[in-house]
Each structure stands twice: as C-alpha cells, then as structure tokens.
Structure 1
Amino acid sequence: MYKRILVPTDGSEITAKAVQTALELAQLAGAELFVIGVKEPFPYSAISEMQPVPPQEFYDAQERIASSRVKAVIEAAGAVKVPCSGHTIEALHPWEAIIEHATNQNCDLIVMASHGRRGVSALLLGSETQKVLTHSTLPVLVVR
C-alpha cells in the first residue's frame, strides 16, 4: 500500500476533493502526506521595463497565497492525525514541479484533481493533471 502520498493544491474547489481523497487514503494506509503549492514566476515583459507590480511585491503575494493553501491542507491533516509536510515551489510548468517534488520526497502516489474538460477546451487549455499523467513514472490517482 502507499506510504508517501503527494497532493498538489491550488485552493480550488475541485482540488479540495483531491485533498480530501488523499487524506482519507493516507488514513486508511497509514501513509504520510506531502502537499505542494506551485507559485507562478514573475511575468517579465520584453516589451516594457515598466511593470504594474514590482517583482518583490509579486513574489511576496505569490508566497502568501501558496503558503496559506498549503497550511490549510497541513491543518486538515493534523485534524485527522495524518502526518503531513508542505512546500511551496516556484515553477514555470507546475506539472514538472509536481513530478520533481514527488520524486525528491520519495512519494509512491500522486493524488490530483481534474476539472473534467473534454474535447477542444481540454486541448486548447491543457491540463496539469494530464501532463503529470503523461510524464510521471509514479501512479497518479485522478479525482473529479
């Protein structure tokens, strides 16, 4: 059974379902939970040196948002006595950060949410979950 489970969070309602599933699975398996919040890099523009938000202010806001999301999962895990640790990571491609973090933490399962887009909208919008599924060598549990 799984002993080290990674669950990424973006604070969305669908992600909350994945977090709940990961918590329940961790309880059943006696597993440790790892939570990751991926932060966006600063959107540098080649067109203009004038930015609407200074870089440090942007970084601070991204860290505050990601940290609060990760902290909420850690608190939920604590409430059901599941050992949990969390990290925030800046990445241009969240799916790469998720796979890398799962590998670095020796996780044996990734639990992710899927927004359930199909057809052209899924093709055009892309999906971090789909990219993790495609590129990960670890098992991935997709929650809808």
Structure 2
Amino acid sequence: MFQHILIATDGSDVSDRAAKQAIDLASRLGARVLALHVVPALPAYAYFAQGIEGAIPTPDEASREDAECLERVQRLAKAHGVPCELRSVVDGRPYCEIVAIAEREGCDLIVMGSHGRQGLDRLLLGSETHKVLLSTRVPVLVCQ
C-alpha cells in the first residue's frame, strides 16, 4: 500500500498529532517517512501570521522551534522502528515545496494537520493543507 510517507510538520499541536498518526500507519505498513518542515521565506509574512495567532518568536526561538518539530518526529519514528529522514527547506509558498518534494522523492502519501480555521483567520492565514490538496496527485491524509 503506502511505502514512503511525507509528514509535513509546522511544530503545532495539530501537526504533532498528524505526525503520530503517520508514524503509527508507517509502523503498521513497514513504510519509511520523510519529515518535512518548510520555513516561510519572508520573515515579515511569518511574523504577520504568528502575530495574528498571538505570539511572535525571536529569530533564535524560531530556529530552535523549527529544529524541535523535526526532532519530535524523529524521536517518535525511532521509538516505533520507522526509518525517518528529516528535511527543512525555506520557501515562500510552503504548499509548493511540500508537493514538489513529495513528487520528487516518490512519496505515495502526504500526511498533514489542519487547524480547521474559519472566517477571517482562514482568509488572512490561508490553508497550506487546502492548497496541497488542490495541487497534488499524491493522496493526502488530513488530521485534526
């Protein structure tokens, strides 16, 4: 069935829950995972989005958080005996990088969390998960 699962993570609680589900699935199927964290290329955008959510990290905090979200996935994968590759990239449109890497690396499933934003938050922040769903032929498992 699925042999190479891309886990798109942003370090949020919903993203961590999605990673747990992806690793559980990978463990059951004997699949490997690629944990991907896409850092927005435009710091102003990142600060704006995080400002709307109520917390703007310093650059050092942001770098540490980026590394920690991938390390959490790696620890979980190791605990379940799932081979795991980590990758962090910078791109102004994270959904494009998620789709491109999934296709380039031959991933047969993308697992992502969805914050379930509504109204103004969805309009201003957008939905990377929704954009991935519309932009790829690779199946996408969306977790909340």
Q: In structure 2, what is the Cα distance between the partners aligned to 1:65 and 1:16?
A: 13
Structure 1 regions of 5+ residues with no counterpart? 45-56
Q: 1:106 to 1:63 in 2, by over 3 A?
A: farther
Written as runs of structure 1 = structure 2, the 5 A alignment for 1:1-144 is: 1-43=1-43, 58=59, 63-119=63-119, 121-144=121-144
Residue identity opposite 1:135 in structure 2: S
Q: 1:118 to 1:99 in 2, by over 3 A?
A: same
Q: 1:40 to 1:122 in 2, by over 3 A?
A: closer
Question: Could you tell me how far 1:71 is from its partner in structure 2?
Answer: 1.7
Q: In structure 1, what is the Cα distance between the partners aligned to 2:12 and 2:110?
A: 17
Question: Could you tell me how far 1:105 is from its partner in structure 2?
Answer: 1.3
Q: In structure 2, what is the Cα distance between the partners aligned to 1:123 and 1:10?
A: 19
Q: In structure 2, what is the Cα distance between the partners aligned to 1:24 and 1:71?
A: 17
The share of aligned pairs that are identical, in percent, is 39
Please report the TM-score for the alignment, with normalisation by the length of structure 1.
Answer: 0.82
Query: 3-state DSSP class of the match of 2:22?
Result: helix
Residues 28-79 of structure 1, C-alpha deviations (whole Å, 9 max, x = no match): 11100110011122447xxxxxxxxxxxx95x76554322211221111001
Higher Cα Rg: structure 1 or 2? 1
Please report the TM-score for the alignment, with normalisation by the length of structure 2.
Answer: 0.82
Structure 2 regions of 5+ residues with no counterpart? 45-57
- The RMSD of aligned alpha carbons is 2.0
Residue identity opposite 1:26 in structure 2: A
Residues 42 and 92, structure 2, Cα contact 8 Å, conserved in 1: no
Q: In structure 1, what is the Cα distance between the partners aligned to 2:64 and 2:106?
A: 27
Higher share in helix = 2
User: Which deviates the most, 22-31 or 117-126?
Assistant: 117-126
**What residue is the counterpart of 2:55 in the other structure?**
none
Query: 3-state DSSP class of the match of 1:129?
Result: helix
